[in-house]
Amino acid sequence: MKKIFSIVLFSALVLGLNGCKDYMDINSDPNSPASENLTSDMILSAAEMNIAATYSYTLHVLGAYNVEYYAQQFGTPNYVKYSQFEVSATNGSGIYTQLFQRALGNLNTVKQRATDNGENGVLLQVAVLRAFAYQLLVDAFGEVPYKEAFQPSILTPHYDKGQDIYEGLIKEINDALAAVKAGDAVAKSFIIPSQSLDEWIRFANGQKLRMLVRMSDVKDVKADVEAIVAENKLPEGDVKIAGCWANASGQANPLFSEELATWGRATNNMIGNVALIQTMQDGGVDGRLAKLFKKNKTGVFQGGLSGSNLSTVDEPYNSSDAFGGIVVAYNTPVILLGKTEVEFFLAEFFARQNDAGQAKAHYDAAIEASFATAGAEGAAEAIALRPYNHANWKECIGVSKWIALAGINGFEGYTEARRLDYPEFGNISGTDMYPLGKGAIDFGLYVAGKLYTPFDVFSKVGNNHLLERFPYPESSTSRNSNAPAFPGHLEPIFWGK
């Protein structure tokens, strides 16, 4: 199996911040940059690229297979285990290295410098990016070192509970927001190249909203979210890294670079999953579908099956051109916090407050934002096909959000499906569709809007379950005697309990 988590391409920064190119690795020691001449701008941008690579490639790939956005291309073996809902401690090591040792390590350096220099704008940037990176680690592993992390005197930090980390990060953002004032300068960055303090404040509030609403089932967040809504300073569009990618090695969108670039592997391992593709064609072809996947040799969108590469399947599916690959370009933006996510979180908040009117308004706005991000037509038709249903708001939001996040980030879609428990599993499994593991396959059995147990599903996950968490990363546990015992593949992250 290809080791997708060994990437170092984006463990670097851009000199001069003129584009996502001319990379220089500064991560031999994440807490001690190699050159004293490196500025905070450079180190912050390195952290952003660490996050971008992990979020838009490694985590995206794992999430997309585990929530049935993607299936394995005919005859290729690379990601079959992911499509069977299996992730190992070795797989998780790359995520941990990129986010913890590199991104958070670089941010720790910037934080120290900004604290010494009284740069409150930069400290706000650090707080938001720390929250983003740590949130991903919690959502993947559940528990990681936080309170004792990055203390030189503590070589084996204890792991903190996910909820404690979330609450600590929200406090970090609140403290940074309280300290910042109009006119405070922010560092150059890829995420908000205009260096707008107001946009960083909006990003901060959006990141808080994401974490607060995710805690809704385990903590009363009503007052905190109401304060964000009252302030009315949330992102006005997608928070993303865009406009800096180039069609050359080391300079392109990370997913494109690793999977589709002619200078890379150009393997085309990934195809659409029957679950997502047939759901998006239920009642009419969703305009966003063509922005996600190519059509097959007969000119239709055809998804594959989780759990198998169908290498021994009968016609008409016994070739790679029976399925359409993913659509990703060298300059596809890396969206860190989509406008559609913000609107869906607001819709969920108001639904929980039994405010059907506001919930519907934000639900509709979320779908409209999803189509705008995709550059597709048909938002009104999609809303009419799946209108807001207040009596069953969790399923309504869950399924529509699952579809929308396919065009933003696979890991976010996987996280929200684990948290909301929608889409739910139907009565048809991968084995029902492909009973012998060879010969005929019947995709027509799939029921739209449902997940299904993969063919040859990972035994520790089993039928009608998602993989709830990744095993603790080997790169951390092998060196840390305070690492806890893995609680099991079906133990939910704190927000899913």
Domains of the chain: 39-242+409-427+465-496 (1.25.40.390)
- Per the structure block, which two tokens stand in for 430? 């991968």
Q: Is 387 helix (H, G, I), strand (E, B) or coil?
A: coil
Return averaged pLDDT per consecutive 10 residues of the chain, 497 residues in all.
Answer: 33 41 39 62 95 97 98 94 97 95 96 96 98 98 97 96 98 98 96 97 98 98 98 98 93 93 77 98 97 97 97 96 95 98 98 98 98 98 98 98 97 98 98 97 98 98 98 94 96 97
Are 493 and 468 a contacting pair, CB within 8 Å? yes
Residue 394 has a pLDDT of: 98
Residue 286 has a pLDDT of: 98
Are 216 and 210 a contacting pair, CB within 8 Å? no
Are 340 and 408 a contacting pair, CB within 8 Å? yes
Residue 20 has a pLDDT of: 58
Question: Is the overall model pTM greater than 0.85, yes or no?
Answer: yes
Residues whose CB falls within 8 Å of the CB of residue 484, separated by 6 or more in sequence, listed in order: 143, 159, 472
Residue 263 has a pLDDT of: 77
Dist CA 203 CA 193 (whole Å): 13
* Main-chain dihedrals φ then ψ at residue 205, nearest 5 degrees: -65, -35
User: H/E/C letters for each residue in 410-458?
Assistant: HHHHHHHHHHHCCCCECCCCHHHHCCCCCECCCHHHCCCCCECCCCCCC
